[in-house]
């Protein structure tokens, strides 16, 4: 038993390391590569490498690297929560893992219906990836959700799923859906279809980026105000930005934690709504039943 317990603890340490090491790597990489700047600096993801390609160069950016670091951390968290699953004497981490699964299953069932219960893992992945990406800002790292290219990639993937389920009743039915409810609305329906991934990407990206910009502006303004009002203090006390203590932290709790998690939830809800809402389930089940009858005959 002692040998098993020792081995279990070592595996736990390994999984915790997989969770935490990517964040440490991101911090070290940021410290070593980020140039020193004075005043307000609001920039996009830094480019680390350019790979020559036939059409255009492939850019390896800060957002891409941090996205991979987040995925590795999420992998470590999942391995840790599911390590040593039991039916008796259940650990608290297993209760947490079961609670997460139950809540996501309920969310998918309530929003999409029984047919889409297989989407639970995908929706959980969207929630985790989006929320943890935004939470990187708490560590002073560039959040991948502040890069339009990253969020646009997610939106394109969701758009492919939407188109796939809309086409499950055949291409003719998919084309016919653009003429509903009346044919003269076809141009607007086509524009609406194309606008879906665009609106999803810009909504998520814009809300996360605006929060980061507001936080930087407020922190910089408080630093200047502190120098103006309290610069008369003797010695090094005059250079301490007292007004920056506390207020930026409160803003960070809202913009990085609450708003980041909220945007993850909204993106997941829009994914479920668009996929299930565009799928003609009744018609699909009717066609499936008719096909089975023909096969029997």
Number of alpha carbons in the 13 Å side-chain half-sphere of residue 87: 0
At 246 the pLDDT is 61
The radius of gyration computed from the CA coordinates of the chain, to the nearest angstrom, equals 25
E strands present in 62-206:
none
Specify the pTM: 0.83
At 235 the pLDDT is 59
Closest by alpha carbon to 271, among 156, 181, 148? 156
Q: Could you give the angle at which helices 92-112 and 62-81 cross, rounded to 10 degrees?
A: 110
**CA 17 to chain centroid:** 22
DSSP-based three-state secondary structure for 47: strand
Q: Could you give the angle at which helices 259-278 and 186-230 cross, rounded to 10 degrees?
A: 180
At 122 the pLDDT is 93
DSSP-based three-state secondary structure for 15: helix
Residue pLDDT tens, the chain, 297 long: 577 788 889 999 999 999 999 999 998 888 888 776 555 566 677 888 888 888 888 888 898 999 999 999 999 999 999 998 888 888 899 999 999 999 999 999 999 888 899 899 999 999 999 999 988 888 878 889 988 889 999 999 999 999 998 888 778 888 888 887 778 888 888 898 889 899 999 888 888 877 777 777 777 777 777 777 666 666 555 566 656 666 666 777 777 788 888 889 999 999 999 988 888 878 777 877 777 777 666
Q: What is the rounded CA–CA span in Å between residue 243 and residue 222? A: 6
Residues 6+ apart with CB under 8 A from 52: 58
Q: Which residues of 75-90 are buried (b: 16+ CB within 10 A; e: fewer)?
A: ebbbbbbebeeeeeee
């Amino acid at each position: 038993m002692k040998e098993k317990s020792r081995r279990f603890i070592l595996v736990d340490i390994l999984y915790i390391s997989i969770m935490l090491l990517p964040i440490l790597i991101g911090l070290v990489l940021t410290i070593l590569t980020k140039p020193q700047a004075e005043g307000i600096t609001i920039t996009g993801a830094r480019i680390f490498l350019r790979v020559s390609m036939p059409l255009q160069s492939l850019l390896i950016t800060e957002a891409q690297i941090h996205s991979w670091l987040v995925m590795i951390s999420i992998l470590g968290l999942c391995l840790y929560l599911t390590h040593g699953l039991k039916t008796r004497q259940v650990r608290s981490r297993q209760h947490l893992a079961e609670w997460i699964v139950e809540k996501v299953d309920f969310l998918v069932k309530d929003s999409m219906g029984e047919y889409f219960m297989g989407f639970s893992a995908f929706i959980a992945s969207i929630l985790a990836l989006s929320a943890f990406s935004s939470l990187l800002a708490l560590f002073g790292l560039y959040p991948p959700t502040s890069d339009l290219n990253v969020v646009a990639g997610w939106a394109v993937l969701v758009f492919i799923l939407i188109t796939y389920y809309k086409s499950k009743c055949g291409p003719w039915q998919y084309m016919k859906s653009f003429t509903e409810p009346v044919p003269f609305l076809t141009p607007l329906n086509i524009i609406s279809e194309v606008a879906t991934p665009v609106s999803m990407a810009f909504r998520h990206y814009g809300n996360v980026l605006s929060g980061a910009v507001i936080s930087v502006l407020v922190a910089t303004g408080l630093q200047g105000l502190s120098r103006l009002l309290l610069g008369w203090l003797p010695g090094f006390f005059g250079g301490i930005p007292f007004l920056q203590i506390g207020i930026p932290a409160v803003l960070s709790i809202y913009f990085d934690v609450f708003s980041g998690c909220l945007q993850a939830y909204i993106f997941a809800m829009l994914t479920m709504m668009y996929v299930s809402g565009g799928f003609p389930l009744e018609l699909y089940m009717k066609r499936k039943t008719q096909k089975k009858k023909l096969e029997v005959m």
